[in-house]
Structure 1
Amino acid sequence: MLTPFVYGLTVVLALFVVVIGARFLLAPQAAAVGYGVPAGAGADAYLSIKGLRDLTFGLLGLALLAFVGTQAAAWFMLVVALCPLGDTLIVLRHGGTKATAFGIHFATAVVVLVDAALLFTI
């Protein structure tokens, strides 16, 4: 009963990261505002790097789940949780709101870590 939920959660999280990556590639300034730290003029190249990173991580998570299995996906999610944890610190350090830092980035890290733990159980 838990297995379909865990697979679904993993797929949703990975697709969510793909969408975030695509948004940073297609609308970098708007994505930066949503991230919690608006970017200045000329930052589009760096925002595109973030977009490519997120897009790649999302696709890699889907590939691991589909072709390798839950253990590999669990380790991937465990390691990838460092990104939203780091994002939390970046937002706080660069003048973003605590609500964005903790309500979006830290909460995402917690969900990713819970997903990793659940993947390890199946």
Structure 2
Amino acid sequence: MVLRPDDFDVVVLPNLYGDIVSDLCAGLIGGLGIAPGANIGDDYALFEPVHGSAPKHAGLNRANPTALMLSAVLMLRHLDECDAAERMLGAIRAVISEGKDVTYDIKRTVTGSTDGSVGTSQYADALIAKLQV
């Protein structure tokens, strides 16, 4: 799974092992701060960041909202709002690729340092600006 993740479309596991494997696999895409989650049943679907809540970051303007936004991308696709999903995904990709208005964890993953990172609000403002283009 680590060497050839593209070999897997879906992995079905009990809850405990699913949590462990999903947390480990999050490292393949940049960490838990970026990993979206979807629980899809026959009648209902729930979309959430894999990491859950982050109360230690509450009110500090340092939380990375990417996992939440990518969960929204999954939700939009599930609702057949594919154009909106692609616009949001494009904005996220653009801001992260530019690397200047990103939170400390993204900056550290990309550059090895948190120097020049921004808070949640500035990151969100950069994403909104990309959506308005």
TM-score normalized by the length of structure 1:
0.35
Higher-strand-fraction structure:
2
Higher-helix-fraction structure:
1
